[in-house]
Amino acid sequence: MSWRIRGLLGAAALVVLTSCGVSEDEAVRLKEGQRLFEEDIDPNYWYCSTLGCVYEGQACLEVFFEYGRSPALCLFVAGDNGVCNKVECAKEGRECAIFDGFPGQVKCIDKKK
């Protein structure tokens, strides 16, 4: 098998593995009346670039919504505007957590005891 075919097969496998749905345990949804982005943020800066995010306090994050993962978005991580203050877990007894990486991940985990 040529290296090109192996490369294409590897890329196809990667796409399949990363496109898997979100489990109910990990899923979040927006709280009623909340928005991920503030009204004064230019929509051109909602999505991550290879350099990261424009505003200080933001991180490049994928959000694990009930219907699937979001694209990598520039979201605030702390304070009243923090993403975990704007979402709730789809399943009771869980809490929002932000996992490091590029992009990071916003999903639910078991509540700390």
Mean pLDDT of the chain: 84
| 103 Cα distance to chain centroid | 7
> What digits encode the pLDDT tens for the residues 53-98?
988 999 999 999 999 999 999 999 998 889 999 999 999 999 999 9
Mean pLDDT of 24-40: 90
Separation of alpha carbons 63 and 65, rounded Å: 6
Retrieve residue 83's tokens: 């993403």
pLDDT of residue 83: 96
Q: By three-state DSSP, how is residue 106 classified?
A: strand
- 61, 83 in Cβ contact below 8 A? yes
Domain ranges within the chain, ordered by starting residue:
22-110
Separation of alpha carbons 40 and 60, rounded Å: 18
pLDDT of residue 39: 80
